Amino acid sequence: MNHHPAFELVREQHLDSLNITVQEFTHLSTGAQHIHIQADSDENVFLVALRTVPTDSTGVAHILEHTALCGSEKYPVRDPFFMMIRRSLNTFMNAFTSSDWTAYPFASTNTKDFNNLLDVYLDAVFFSRLDELDFLQEGHRLEFEKWDDPSSPLQFKGVVYNEMKGAMSSVPSQLWQSLCKHLHPSNTYHFNSGGDPVEIPDLSYQQLKQFYRTHYHPSNAIFMTFGSLPVSELQQRFEDQALCRFDRLDETIKVDSEKPFTAPLTVNDVYTAENDEDKSHVVVAWLLGESTDPVEALRAQLMASLLYENSASPLQQLLETSALGKSPSPLNGIEDSQKQIIFVAGMEGCEATDRDAIESEILATIQQAISEGFAPERINACIDQLELQQREVGGDGYPYGLQLILTSLGSATHRGDPVAVLDLDRSLNQLREDLKDPNFVGETLQRLFIDNTHRLTLCVEPDTKLAEAQNAAEQTRLDEIAAALSEQEVTAIVEQSQRLQDRQNAEDDPGTLPKVGIADVPASIHEPARLEYQGKSVTAYEYEAGTNGLVYLQAIIALPELTESERQILPFLCNILSELGLGNDDYLHVQNLHTACSGGLHAFTSIRNNAFDEQASSAYLVLSGKGLRRYVNELTTLMQRTLTEVRFDEHERVRDLMSQTRSRKESSVAGNGHAYAMGAASATANGLAAMQFATSGLAGIKATKLLDERLADAAELALFCQELQHLYQKLTAVTPVVAVVGEQQYLAAYREALANFQIASEQQHASEWSLPKVRTVNSSFWAVNAQVNFCALAFPTVTSAHQDAAALTVLGGVLRNGFLHRALREQGGAYGGGANQDNANAVFKFFSYRDPRTQETLDDFYASIEWLIDTELSFDKVEESILGVISSLDKPASPAGEAKQALSQYLHGRSPEHREAFRTNVLNVTAAELKRVATKYLKDTKPSVAIVGPKSSYEGFEDTLEFFSL
């Protein structure tokens, strides 16, 4: 027996395609489920998930997720979650609230660290204190603007309250919430699980505790683990630290399937719009089969691929080219994480009066696809895409083990088969059997879309008065509450604020929490080996990696010197390079070539400042592709053609792609406002920062919007296409170097495929890349469609090769951990904030995220500098930040990702020795160095300032910040 006697082994299955063994266990006394994915991996992952099924939009599950991490029975400190981030070498640590589950995951490559985090997580989830003050801080509370002055305005405050104000400023979020509300009239998806800011203040502390008692119980829990740790040891900890103290819970928490509509439904709704020129969104959504049926889910995914895989697919082609809309909806595609699968097709930039016509176009396109059918090679290509997605070893965003866990979590949550979701081969085999029936695809499309009455056509119209009305309604509510307050209630609010501040300012003893230290840090970093060889036509870099049957290719061209206008359109060229026709083949034909042999082909620029001089940079154009190894010859040919035969005469295609680019950029601000604010503050730090701000930052979004409007003129569009073609020819006039990543036994075959890879006879550009030198201070305010703010400061500092770079990098963590987290999040109510050294741009940046404040936040940034200089720092605080930096530096990527990262470092002159030296310097940083660099670079230095937020937040900054509007 390889498991703990408190658990029963339900089954065990090895999955060859993923090289993992999955074991499913049941805890005998509570019924808790444990799914263990045994893998040869140094990175071990843990997740415990609870089925959380809210019956309103007060955000109870979301607020509970936050509050549960604010202290527990064994660890009664105020902030164990954030404290453990500082005392850990974790490679991932977070908590999620989904629509029907809440999960607490972490990952680490250090066994001691893993066990430390496991102890804290188990206690936090099952023995949380749920202090009322933590509920008030994380969820919502009433507080006077000046907390101790009852004559000042009354306000709603709370971390989740402000987080959801920010989240619901996003138009896609508003659209998705409206869609779920109407598509699910009777089950939990009808509600906003994150919390509607209007309803969050309705949640009481007692309701939160009651929800905890019924939902945070082992009988309602799913334990999931990945890695090489023995399952018996994991289960021993589960049992000893949590499960032995519980009996089985009689209540079964589940999501009921939605009752089918008797007829399709049509609904009009509104979203908050900033400008009168904003248009409507129109989507058609279907509720399909149960997501717990792996074969039915795969059938739905195949149908989605056939309709949507690329621009030559019927629905995708319609939604990109229809005159009734500007671009495809960001919601398009399949969503299979809920109890029932959702399929969405629609457009943005529409007229509300065209709602029925858009619905008719979508239905007619699906009906036409049924009538005409799909070529066998097209179907096979989509099957290959499903296989590629199954085989690819990820880990560049989330840890790979966590990706596998999250893939199976949805099915486990709904008491389906979590192993079958991972065992895609079995479902693919069934799908291939289905496809032997020539009518299968047509009959499935007919069943899922034409005959399915559970269909919603939703038109969400812009309302430029909605945000104002929402703010007015909130203010009226607050005024009514304030008017009704008795003298005793006023006093109670002030006293409550005082108690909360006292708690926030209290110094907890971190000694109650486990930790790792510098002594536990690995001595050095792993560097993938690079083999360089001269092929018949190109220089090639070769990396051996465990890619599970996939091959990764990159063609790399050093960029020449470019004019300002060429630099401005360079990102657009990269965006469309793999989206246009090649030679005599139009883009529709080429899109099918992509699907047939690749898992994605895209171009991007890799530009970095010199490690010794932020005013000098190196720049490359990279064409990157991946595919199943059996298609390496076809992939190589496609990449070569993309660097020699792109045609720019498909003007309407370019026009459609630019409209899509504009839509993506405009919708990205609500979720990434802090990054945009930091980009604006850093915009005059050096030439590269200025270029990034002008092309991909806020100025780039504004420029893209103006360009998109200009391209409505045919002559302007033709001229733009000529400019793109000229730049393309200039960049591809030289032979690239080629990089290949794959398994050792296939590298010889890959060399053969690359033998004839040749682009041009010239060896180098006539001029070398360079950018204008810039080093000034700027101050700006950017008005966007949001209910919260994003604030940033940028101080000029140094690059990574400078002796002070390591201390500045560690300084960011100390400021965040010691001052900013409490000031910005706990007391200020922002969802997040902090500080970091940007070695690439030689600036030190402060930032806040989804922040209700502006000037007060800027004041806190400055105050944190004074705090650091005036405070006697203990070594523990310095060590905590060092661990965070090392954790980030040592974070593992996917096998292919590590190889590509190593290649990028090499191309930009960052040798392993340079990185090792920086890492060593980080490990040796002292408190005295932190005070020295804070004094030298931050104190009495004028920074650049940027605020991104609603126009109303500009009040008071008229004389200090230059105003811009998107």
pLDDT tens-digit profile of 370-421? 999 999 999 999 999 988 988 888 878 889 999 999 999 999 999 999 999 8
Nearest to 192 by CA among 207, 206, 181, 203: 181
For helices 687-695 and 698-710, the axis angle rounded to 10 degrees is 40
Percentage of the chain with pLDDT > 90?
Answer: 87
Would you state the pLDDT for residue 276?
76
Rounded to whole angstroms, how far apart are CA atoms 876 and 529?
36
Beta carbons within 10 angstroms of residue 927's beta carbon: 18
| 36 phi/psi in degrees, rounded to 5 | -115, 130
- Statement: residue 607 has pLDDT above 80: yes
Output the six-digit token pair for 257: 């399937």
Mapped onto helix, strand or coil, the DSSP state of residue 641 is helix
Could you give the C-alpha distances from 62 to 122, 199, 766, in angstroms and in order? 18, 13, 57
Whether 841 contacts 689, CB under 8 Å? yes
- Statement: residue 626 has pLDDT above 80: yes
Beta carbons within 10 angstroms of residue 574's beta carbon: 16
Would you state the pLDDT for residue 763?
62
Report how far apart the first and last C-alpha atoms of the chain are (Å, whole number): 63
Nearest to 344 by CA among 435, 244, 448: 448
Beta carbons within 10 angstroms of residue 522's beta carbon: 12
Residue with tokens 């994605």: 600
β 779-783/962-965 pair status: parallel
Whether 903 contacts 543, CB under 8 Å? yes
Q: What is the mean pLDDT of the chain?
A: 94
Rounded to whole angstroms, how far apart are CA atoms 170 and 59?
18
Rounded to whole angstroms, how far apart are CA atoms 702 and 739?
36
For helices 714-731 and 564-576, the axis angle rounded to 10 degrees is 90
The mean per-residue pLDDT over the stretch 913-917 comes to: 92
Domains and their CATH numbers in the chain: 7-252 (3.30.830.10), 279-463 (3.30.830.10), 531-754 (3.30.830.10), 779-965 (3.30.830.10)
Nearest to 81 by CA among 814, 817, 671: 817
Nearest to 179 by CA among 342, 35, 323: 342
Q: Is the dihedral of CA 622, 628, 629, 631 positive or negative?
A: negative
Output the six-digit token pair for 748: 């010889």
The mean per-residue pLDDT over the stretch 658-687 comes to: 94
Would you state the pLDDT for residue 17?
83
Least confident of 232-236, 363-367, 670-674: 670-674
Would you state the pLDDT for residue 896?
93
Classify residue 526 as exposed, middle or buried by CB count within 10 Å of its CB (0-12, 13-18, 19+).
exposed
Would you state the pLDDT for residue 760?
67
When pLDDT is cut at 50, 70 and 90, the band that residue 1 belongs to is: low
Helix (H) / strand (E) containing 8: strand 7-15
Would you state the pLDDT for residue 279?
92
Rounded to whole angstroms, how far apart are CA atoms 557 and 555?
7
Rounded to whole angstroms, how far apart are CA atoms 823 and 864?
9
Beta bridge partners of 93: 106
When pLDDT is cut at 50, 70 and 90, the band that residue 860 belongs to is: very high
Rounded to whole angstroms, how far apart are CA atoms 583 and 561?
27
Percentage of the chain with pLDDT > 70?
Answer: 99
Amino acid at 125: V
Q: Give per-residue burial for 368-398: e unless 16+ CB within 10 Å, then b.
A: ebbeeebeeebbebbbbbbbbebbbbbbbeb
pTM recorded for the entire structure: 0.92
Rounded to whole angstroms, how far apart are CA atoms 268 and 263?
17
User: How many separate helices (H) and strands (E) can be counted in the chain?
Assistant: 33, 28
The half-sphere exposure of 577 on its side-chain side, counting CA atoms within 13 A, is 30
DSSP for 876-897 reads HHHHHHHHHHHHHHH----HHH
The total number of residues written for the chain in this structure: 966
**Phi-psi group of 940: left, alpha or beta (phi > 0 → left; psi -120 to 50 → alpha; rest → beta):** left
Would you state the pLDDT for residue 391?
86
Beta carbons within 10 angstroms of residue 921's beta carbon: 18
Rounded to whole angstroms, how far apart are CA atoms 791 and 674?
7
* DSSP structure class, residue 243: G
Mapped onto helix, strand or coil, the DSSP state of residue 937 is helix
* DSSP structure class, residue 789: B
Helix (H) / strand (E) containing 267: strand 265-272
Whether 573 contacts 296, CB under 8 Å? no
pLDDT digits (tens, 9 = 90+) for 309-331: 999 999 999 999 999 999 999 99
The mean per-residue pLDDT over the stretch 484-513 comes to: 91
When pLDDT is cut at 50, 70 and 90, the band that residue 761 belongs to is: low
Rounded to whole angstroms, how far apart are CA atoms 420 and 404?
12
Beta carbons within 10 angstroms of residue 142's beta carbon: 20
Amino acid at 901: Q
Rounded to whole angstroms, how far apart are CA atoms 54 and 883?
38
Helix (H) / strand (E) containing 223: strand 221-227
Q: Give per-residue burial for 32-49: e unless 16+ CB within 10 Å, then b.
A: bbbbbbbbebebbbbbbb
When pLDDT is cut at 50, 70 and 90, the band that residue 735 belongs to is: confident
- Statement: residue 62 has pLDDT above 90: yes
pLDDT digits (tens, 9 = 90+) for 567-576: 999 999 999 9
pLDDT digits (tens, 9 = 90+) for 141-184: 999 999 889 999 999 999 999 999 988 988 999 999 999 999 99
For helices 294-308 and 376-391, the axis angle rounded to 10 degrees is 120
Non-local CB neighbours of 461 within 8 Å, separated by 6+ positions: 268, 269, 270, 271, 280, 352
Helix (H) / strand (E) containing 10: strand 7-15
* DSSP structure class, residue 955: T
Beta carbons within 10 angstroms of residue 727's beta carbon: 20
Whether 384 contacts 628, CB under 8 Å? yes
- CA 368, 370, 375: angle at the middle one, nearest 5? 100
> Radius of gyration of the chain from Cα atoms?
28
Whether 886 contacts 521, CB under 8 Å? yes
Would you state the pLDDT for residue 921?
96
Would you state the pLDDT for residue 822?
92
Output the six-digit token pair for 855: 């000037």
Could you give the C-alpha distances from 668 to 171, 318, 521, 656, in angstroms and in order? 10, 24, 37, 19
Mapped onto helix, strand or coil, the DSSP state of residue 170 is coil
Would you state the pLDDT for residue 424?
83
Output the six-digit token pair for 135: 């509920």
Rounded to whole angstroms, how far apart are CA atoms 900 and 553?
10
Output the six-digit token pair for 559: 């960029």
Rounded to whole angstroms, how far apart are CA atoms 800 and 878?
19
